[in-house]
Structure formats: structure tokens, C-alpha cells
Amino acid sequence: MIDATILLWGVAIGSIYVLLATGLNLIFGVMKLVNFAHGELLMLGAYVSYSITTGLGLDVYLSIFVSMGVIALVGLGVERLAFRRVLGADKLNEIFVSLGLILIFDNVAVLIWGEDSKLLTSPFKGMGLHFGDVFLRYDLLIAFAVVVAILVGLLFLINKTKVGMAMRATSQKSQASMLMGINIEHIYIFTFMLGAVLAGAAGTLFGIIFPFNPYIGALPTIKTFAIIILGGLGSIKGAIVGGLLFGIAENLASATLGSIWGDAVAFALLIAVLILRPKGLFGEKGD
């Protein structure tokens, strides 16, 4: 029997995947960069919020802004010091650099915060709405609303502003946009930081809903890649639909078949979609 609570949790984890996936999709679309360390930014975001809320007593939901800012700076550092230097080499070199970064970030987090699981304490702890048997936590609702707000802002940025236009141009043909006077170096930095900001926000939301430790980053990243591939590379609509589908499929499978099946079913769904549509659900046609 399908429980509505399971669906809700699927949507909750799905909407966090959506944030991560949109960021990664932007970075991949504009820079053609494969960043497997993106999930580490989510992990760091959760820890930054943890330090802010326990150290300064700031509200968790306000700490989102701090974590977005700090992670943007981390993103800047990562882009300048590591990824910028391997851009244009073989894609496998980028994965290699990401694996190195995962080692660095995971262990730095252990050194600073320790290995124990942590949870951000929400002001709405234990509160929520009752719909018959279904209990809807306020935190899930807020997380969903925050994700929607961020996505609306992002779509506005990409479609209506000059920077957004430059980003779209760079993603289509970086050399041609360079000739049109776009400083693609700056666009790359901006895009990477934007992706990092989304990961930072996702980290705080993740930390409010799920307990976290320094090693949570790796699996969400790979799932996020699966999601943007499921949805179609470069498509934000695809990332949203893919993220929600993936989250729900994973949660349903865990609940009905047993927890070990969660990841397997989600990836089986991905493979099935790719067999039918090699470019993903909303992927662009052509070569």
C-alpha cells in the first residue's frame, strides 16, 4: 500500500535533489565541467549552518543566507585553484580532481566538526499539520517553499537579466560569445559560484530534515548526475521533474521492497529512461 507520508518524504528529498541538480546542470551547461565534488558543498553548507546556529544562536532558516555566502566563497576557491586549471583537458581529469577534492573536503570536515551525526534544530520541531493519518511537518513545507522561491529567482536571473543572457550564450558557443565581447572567464566564475550557492542552500535544508555527517556528500552527487541525465542535460525543467521522480522512486522502493532497493530502483529507472530516450526526458534533439 502506498502511504502518503512516503510520497511526501520523497518530494522533500526530491526537492533538495532539485536544488543540487539545477546547480550542477548550470555548471555543466555553461562550463562543460563535471564536478563530482558538488555534494561536498552541500555537506559543507549544512555544517556552516550548524556552526552559525550553535555558535551565534542564529535561527536556522536565517542561517541559509550565511551558508549560501560562505559556500559561494568556497566555490570561488575551488573554481580558481582546481577546476580552472584542468578545464579543457580530458573529462576524466576533471573527475580525478573531483575525487581529490572529495578527499580534502570530507576530511577537513571531520577535522573541524568530528565524525558524529548532527542535526540542525528547527524552530518548528515536532510541529506540523494533520490530514487524517498523514502528518505534514512544517519543515518539509518550508523547504519546499524555499526551493520554489530559489528556482523562481534563478529562472528570472537566467531568462531576464544580462548576466543570464551571457550565461546562455556561453553555454551555446563559448568561443562565439567571447567574440561578442563576453568575458567568459567571469561568466565561468559566476556560474560556478551560483551553483555553489544553490548547493549551500540545499545543505541547510538537508541538515534540517535529515541528520548529516562529513560523508553524506558523495551519494547525492552521483544521484544528482543521474537526475540531470534523466531530465536531459542543460534542461532546468528536466532537473526539476527528474529530481522529484528520483526522490519519489527511491523512497517508494525503500518503503515497499526494503531499504537496500532504494538506490538500485532509482538507477534502474534511469537506465530504463535512457534506453527509451538516449538524450533524457527533456534533452535537446540532435547531436
Partner 1 sequence: MFTKENLLKLIKNTKGRLALLAIAVSLVIPLLLSDNYMLHILTLIVIFTIYASSWNLLASSGQGSLGHAAFLGIGGFTSSLLAINLGIPPIVGIFLAATLSAAIGFLIGITCVRLKAWFLAMVTFGFSIIASTLFSEFDEVTHAILGFRTPPLLFSSRLPFYYFAVLISIACVAVLYFIMKSKMGLAFKAIHQNEAEARMIGLNTAKYKLYAFVLSTFFAGLSGAIYAHFQRYIHISIFSADNSFMPLMMSVIGGLGTIEGPVIGSVIMVFIDHFLINIDPFLNSALSPLFPAVSNVGPNIRLVGLGIFLVIVVILLPKGITSLLRKLYYYVRTEIIQSE
Q: Give me the residues that bind partner 1 (CB under 8 A), please.
A: 34, 82, 85-86, 89-93, 95-97, 99-104, 106-108, 110-115, 218, 222, 225-226, 229, 233, 260-261, 263-264, 267-268, 270-271, 274-275, 278, 280, 287
Of how many residues is the chain composed?
287
DSSP 94: H
The least distance separating partner 1 from the CB of residue 248, rounded to whole angstroms, comes to 17
Got the DSSP string for 17-45?
HHHHHHHHHHHHHHH----TTHHHHHHHH
Handedness of CA 131, 135, 140, 142 (dihedral sign): positive
- Residue 188 C-beta: closest distance to partner 1, Å: 17
Which residue has 555534494 as its cell numbers? Answer: 39
CA distance 210 to 229: 25
- For the chain, the farthest-separated pair of C-alpha atoms sits apart, in whole angstroms, at 61
Q: Distance (Å, rounded) from C-alpha 174 to C-alpha 183? A: 10
Q: C-beta of 88: minimal distance to partner 1 in Å?
A: 9
Q: Are 200 and 40 in contact (CB under 8 A)?
A: no
Rank residues 95 and 163 by Cβ distance to partner 1 and give the closer one.
95
Looking at the Cβ atoms of 53 and 122, the one nearer to partner 1 is 53
CB of 86 to partner 1, least distance (A): 6
Instruction: Pick the closer one to partner 1 by CB: 186 or 277.
Output: 277
Least distance to partner 1, CB of residue 163, Å: 26
Nearer CB in complex with partner 1: 69/88: 88
Query: Would you give the distance in Å from CA 157 to the centre of its chain?
Result: 18
H or E element at residue 147 = helix 138-160
Please report how close the Cβ of residue 279 comes to partner 1 at its closest, in angstroms.
8
**For partner 1, which is the closer residue by CB, 176 or 272?**
272
Q: CB of 40: closest distance to partner 1 in angstroms?
A: 11
The smaller minimum CB distance to partner 1, of residues 7 and 95, is found at 95
Is 57:117 a contact under the CB 8 Å cutoff?
no
Q: Is-contact 8 244, C-beta < 8 A?
A: no
| CB nearer to partner 1: pick between 37 and 72 | 37
Cell numbers standing for residue 208? 534540517
Q: Cβ distance 192 to 74 under 8 Å?
A: no
